Structure 1
Amino acid sequence: MVTKAGHNTYREDSIKNGERERRGKSKEMVVLDVISPNQNVPVVLENFWSSSISKTAFQAFYVEWLTTNYQGTKPLYLGISPQAWTVSAGCASPFPRLNCTHEEAEDRMMFHVQDILSHRSGPTSITLSSGDTDVFVCLLYHITVNWRDLGLKELWLVRNSGVRRSILPLHDICLALGDELTKCLPALHALTGCDTTSKISTKLAALNAVRKPDNSSLILNFDSPQLTENAIQLAETFLVKCLKPSTDLKTFDDL
């Protein structure tokens, strides 16, 4: 078994900058462009994490720290965009196979799972740790669409929420939901509100809406590389159904 980890990328032109600015507005932001082993930890960690500069500096420090202090026998694979690194036996080396420019760490987690399955033979069991809803949704989708055929037998997700810790068998959840519903989950999640989109209705209302055959067809083709005007109109109709399940209306303007 190998351990892999990813970190967010912080770009000046990111679509998420507005959200990051909103999160940091009420805080006295702590900005550190270089972090050393003897660095004092900020009293309020939220003030530190609200700074993209501080987060980027921490990522660089983390690789350096692991190179000196990691004593484990398993190699570590770290996705720090755009490069990936492997740390083993006191040495950090580039690992080009996992280079990735995706901004979100959860996106790069999908690449890491894909890489494991592409370089192993036979049934494989993988465990990941994340409390992020985006990760949960994307993993369910990829199990159904991509990973079963690559030998994935079990995929477990460890979720920590405050003092609670749960371990979810995603392979069983996929079977319970069914392939058609699972394939709709990324579109459902993004349309009703995620890291880069505004909240519309609720996840529960969307799940109830998508379980109806006539509604699920509205977003089945929303994962196309190039969205058509028709796909966008159908997605709007789906969201109208989430807000008002019994309506025959099709646009927000009509609603």
Structure 2
Amino acid sequence: MMVHVTNAVHRGCKKIQIRSVDTNLAVLIVSTVSELGGGLELWVAFGTGKDFRLIAVHEIAQSLGPMRCYALSKFHSLMGCDTTSYFQYNGKRIAWKIWKLSDIC
């Protein structure tokens, strides 16, 4: 999916919307959007029915910063992907709070 987004950006697209119901894809999009350059508006149309929403991925990436965006995919693979439910008896929310409080990344 991100190969197509990268190709669109290289061809001059400034606003892109991706449709997905997979949280793993949404996290990967956030983790790579900062590498695609400034001025890009990247939206994810996420969910179905009453849970449908548009997520401004470019705003999330901007608030996290480039270093945290880069590290997000690694954090997600340790804490939140489909095959890992927790790390050392700590859930995803606790790990996220600790990561936000730390000066790492």
TM-score (norm 2): 0.81
Query: 1:181–1:210: 8 Å Cα contact kept in structure 2?
Result: no
Offset, 1:167:
0.4
Are 1:205 and 2:94 counterparts?
A: yes
Larger radius of gyration between Structure 1 and Structure 2:
1
Q: Distance in 1 between matches of 2:31 and 2:96?
A: 15
How many equivalent residue pairs?
Answer: 101
Query: 2:44–2:54: 8 Å Cα contact kept in structure 1?
Result: yes
Query: 1:159–1:165: 8 Å Cα contact kept in structure 2?
Result: yes
- In the other structure, the counterpart of 2:9 is 117
Offset, 1:162:
4.7
1:63-111 deviations in whole A, cap 9, x for unaligned?
xxxxxxxxxxxxxxxxxxxxxxxxxxxxxxxxxxxxxxxxxxxxxx111
Q: Secondary structure at the match of 1:156?
A: strand
What code does the residue aligned with 2:99 have? V
**Structure 1: gaps of 5 or more residues:** 1-108, 218-255
1:27-80 deviations in whole A, cap 9, x for unaligned?
xxxxxxxxxxxxxxxxxxxxxxxxxxxxxxxxxxxxxxxxxxxxxxxxxxxxxx
1:93-136 deviations in whole A, cap 9, x for unaligned?
xxxxxxxxxxxxxxxx1111112122x13x51100011211111
**Structure 2: gaps of 5 or more residues:** none
Q: Distance in 2 between matches of 1:153 and 1:130?
A: 19
Q: Distance in 1 between matches of 2:66 and 2:79?
A: 20
Aligned with residue 25 of structure 2, among 129, 135, 138: 135
Aligned with residue 63 of structure 2, among 170, 176, 186: 176
Q: Distance in 2 between matches of 1:162 and 1:190?
A: 28
Q: Distance in 2 between matches of 1:158 and 1:181?
A: 23
Offset, 1:170:
0.8
Q: Distance in 1 between matches of 2:68 and 2:61?
A: 9
Q: Which runs of 4+ in 1 moved over 4 A?
A: none
- In the other structure, the counterpart of 1:53 is none
Offset, 1:163:
2.2
Are 1:185 and 2:72 counterparts?
A: yes
TM-score (norm 1): 0.36
Query: 1:188–1:206: 8 Å Cα contact kept in structure 2?
Result: no
Structure showing the higher helix proportion among its residues: 2
Identity of aligned residues (%): 27
